[in-house]
Amino acid sequence: MISIDTFSSLVDAIYDAGLHPEKWQHALTQLTASIGANVADFKLTDLSRARFTVIFIGLHPEVVDRSIGYYGNMDPIVPETERKPLGALNVRSRGCPQDRPRS
């Protein structure tokens, strides 16, 4: 369980990153530290500029590059996201094949 001060700091960081996308790295670093995680990733989609940004925390840059190159070509979320109108939510289970087992 995190303290109310830590929670408040996390909410501030997330709202700040929502207004200033370059601050997501800091927000994710705070989040992973607060829950005791070692790695995290976050995909930011800006359809108005046709730009996808993936932020990784706790992974060596070479691993990140290889992961993006390999899994980026197989990602079922990107094509679905590109078809949706600006601002529409993309629920992961809708982008995955229905025959895929769920955890």
87 domain residue, yes or no:
yes
Whether the predicted model's global pTM rises above the 0.85 cut: no
How many separate domains does the chain show? 1
Work out the mean pLDDT of the chain and round it to a whole number: 78
100 domain residue, yes or no:
no
83 domain residue, yes or no:
yes
State the first-to-last Cα distance of the chain, in angstroms, to the nearest integer: 24
pLDDT level of residue 91 (50, 70, 90 thresholds): low
Q: What's the full length of the chain, in residues? A: 103
Confidence at residue 13, expressed as pLDDT on a 0 to 100 scale: 95
26 domain residue, yes or no:
yes
- Which domain range does residue 42 map to? 4-95
Q: For the residues 74-80, what does the mean pLDDT come to? A: 70
Q: pLDDT tens-digit profile of 24-48?
A: 889 999 999 998 888 888 877 776 7
42 domain residue, yes or no:
yes
